[in-house]
Amino acid sequence: MALAAIGCAGHVPVRGTLDRGAPAPDVAAADLAGRPVRLAALRGRRVVLDFWETTCVPCQRAIPVLADLAGRHARLAIVSITPERASDELRAFVAKHGMTWIVATDDADVVGAAFRVANYPTYYLVDETGTIACAACTLDQIERALGSS
């Protein structure tokens, strides 16, 4: 499923993106239960980092695509990272939209800044070794990179 390459403003722009082939920053966020989520804990799996907001319409449209990717790629981890605080409203949104993967909050913008996120949605694909395989890419690019695994 193709998605337009449009986004929602949300962050103060930071110049550039991280380079393909660079080590992904190992920064922490918290899941909706307050437990830490670290990229290093997912080594050995490919990881899609999905930077999003609940009010971002393109982000909402991407949720079924992310669910489809998760269903077709057994060794793929998806981590959706929002700048919103964990709340009952956020948990309700996640449940309503069937986001069964890791959803983490980054209200201090530590992860977003480390990945130089300038708008939503922004996606990164990290390989099994913790290396950036696709930086600030589209879901179509991620799909191609994942192939038929």
Q: How confident is the model at residue 8 (pLDDT cuts 50, 70, 90)?
A: low
Total domain count for the chain?
1
Segments of 52-143 assigned E as strands? 76-82, 102-105, 119-120, 122-126, 132-137
Q: Classify residue 50: in a domain, yes or no.
A: yes
Q: Classify residue 14: in a domain, yes or no.
A: no
Q: Could you tell me the CA-to-CA distances from 30 to 12, 38, 103, 109 in Å, in that order?
A: 22, 9, 8, 12
Burial degree of 82 (CB within 10 A; 0-12, 13-18, 19+): buried
**pTM, 2 dp:** 0.87
Q: How confident is the model at residue 125 (pLDDT cuts 50, 70, 90)?
A: very high
Supply the pLDDT for residue 2.
39
Supply the pLDDT for residue 16.
61
pLDDT single digits (tens) 56-104: 999 999 999 999 999 999 889 999 999 999 999 999 999 999 999 999 9
Q: Classify residue 18: in a domain, yes or no.
A: no
Supply the pLDDT for residue 11.
41
The domain that holds 59 is classified in CATH as 3.40.30.10
